[in-house]
C-alpha cells in the first residue's frame, strides 16, 4: 500500500494518466515556470501560466511531492535531463469541471496498467529461469541435493 488507499502501482498509473493527459491535452495544467529554488512566499514573483502540452513529452510529475505533500506549491514537474529552471512548480488543473469529467471517464482506463506490466515481467522472468534450468538435450536437470 502507498498510504493513500491504493497500491504503489495504482499511484504510478495515476501519474502516467496525468502526464499522458497533459501531453494529449485531455487535461490542461498551469504552473510557475522556474520557481524551483524559491520558497512559497516568493511565488508571486512567478506568475501562474499554462503548461504547454509539449512539456509533458519529456517531463513527469515529481512523484514523492505529488503524493507526500499537502502544500500544492511543492508539486512540480521533473526531468533530470533538463534544467530545473525549465520545469514548473505549484501545479494547478486549469479547469476543475474538465478534471472531474476526466476522473470519471478517462482515468479508469489507466487503472491496472502497471500491475499488468509487472505481472508480464514476472512471467517472462519465470520462463527465462525455466529455460536456463533445462539442459541442452531438453531434459530437466536433476534437483540439487
Predicted TM-score (pTM) of this structure: 0.65
Domain assignments of the chain as residue spans, ordered by start: 8-133
Q: Which residues lie closer than 8 Å to 84 by C-beta, 6 or more apart?
A: 34, 36, 37
pLDDT value of residue 4: 41
Distance between CA atoms of residues 53 and 22, nearest Å: 6
- Residue-wise pLDDT for 34-75, tens only, equals 877 667 677 778 889 999 999 999 888 887 666 665 677 778
Amino acid at each position: 500500500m502507498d498510504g493513500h488507499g491504493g497500491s504503489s502501482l495504482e499511484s504510478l498509473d495515476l501519474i502516467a494518466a496525468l502526464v499522458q493527459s497533459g501531453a494529449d491535452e485531455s487535461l490542461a495544467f498551469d504552473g510557475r515556470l522556474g520557481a524551483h529554488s524559491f520558497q512559497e512566499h516568493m511565488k508571486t514573483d512567478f506568475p501562474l501560466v499554462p503548461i504547454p502540452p509539449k512539456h509533458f513529452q519529456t517531463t513527469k510529475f515529481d512523484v514523492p511531492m505529488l503524493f507526500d505533500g499537502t502544500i500544492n506549491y511543492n508539486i512540480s514537474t521533473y526531468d533530470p535531463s533538463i534544467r530545473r529552471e525549465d520545469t514548473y512548480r505549484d501545479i494547478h488543473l486549469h479547469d476543475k469541471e474538465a478534471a472531474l469529467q476526466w476522473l470519471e471517464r478517462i482515468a479508469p482506463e489507466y487503472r491496472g496498467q502497471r500491475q499488468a506490466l509487472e505481472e508480464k515481467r514476472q512471467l517472462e522472468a519465470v520462463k527465462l529461469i525455466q529455460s536456463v534450468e533445462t539442459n541442452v538435450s531438453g531434459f530437466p536437470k536433476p534437483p540439487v541435493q
